[in-house]
């Protein structure tokens, strides 16, 4: 079975920093297979004019850290809406970086433009749920295989 760890429901801070930190936490988590769950609400300092939200930006910031790692990383808003996009969040794994490079996409450029939705939508890795009618918190799930 999977080893489970809840690391908190009060996650906060800049989405891109939290994304990197959670990816690193999962990479170095000593047990495998495992599932690591977190929740809270991060923030995004908007500098670009792209589409997306804090959940997609959080996962986008983790993409380079996940490369070739046996990890799956999901972040979603429980209300089904993430920022100015139709997505609730996004999913990435150890193959996402190579998949992006093959498509001619550089994650850091999308991160700089705050355009996480365009990145994940182009890869087919955006999560679309529609409005859920509830708003508890954002959730992050990392599965280490």
Nearest-angstrom CA–CA distance, 121 and 136:
25
CA-closest candidate to residue 36, choices 64, 90, 74: 74
The partner residues of 140 in beta bridges, in order of sequence, read 38, 75
pTM to 2 decimals? 0.96
The whole-number pLDDT of residue 53 equals 98
Our count of domains for the chain comes to 1
Asked whether the beta carbons of 70 and 85 are under 8 A apart, the reply is no
- CATH number for the domain that contains residue 138: 3.40.1480.10
Supply the range of the domain harboring residue 94: 3-144
Helices then strands, counting H and E runs in the chain, come out as 5, 6
Residue ranges of alpha helices (H) inside 29-115 are 54-66, 96-102, 107-112
pLDDT tens-digit series, residues 3-53? 999 999 999 999 999 999 999 999 999 999 999 999 999 999 999 999 999
What band does 126 get if pLDDT is binned at 50, 70 and 90?
very high
The whole-number pLDDT of residue 78 equals 98
What band does 65 get if pLDDT is binned at 50, 70 and 90?
very high
The sign of the torsion formed by the CA atoms of 27, 31, 35, 41 equals: negative
Asked whether the beta carbons of 73 and 60 are under 8 A apart, the reply is no
pLDDT tens-digit series, residues 97-112? 999 999 999 999 999 9
């Amino acid at each position: 079975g999977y080893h489970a760890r809840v690391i908190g429901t009060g996650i906060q801070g800049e989405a891109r920093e939290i994304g990197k930190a959670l990816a690193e936490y999962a990479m170095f988590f000593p047990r495998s297979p495992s599932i690591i769950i977190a929740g809270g609400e991060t923030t995004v300092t908007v500098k670009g004019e792209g589409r997306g939200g804090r959940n997609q930006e959080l996962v986008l910031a983790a993409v380079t850290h996940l490369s070739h790692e046996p990890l799956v990383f999901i972040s979603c808003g429980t209300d089904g809406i993430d920022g100015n996009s139709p997505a609730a969040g996004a999913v990435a794994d150890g193959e996402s970086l190579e998949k992006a490079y093959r498509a001619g996409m550089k994650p850091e450029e999308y991160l700089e433009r705050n355009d996480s939705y365009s990145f994940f939508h182009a890869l087919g890795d955006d999560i679309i749920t529609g409005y859920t009618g509830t708003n508890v918190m954002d959730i992050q799930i990392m599965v280490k295989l």
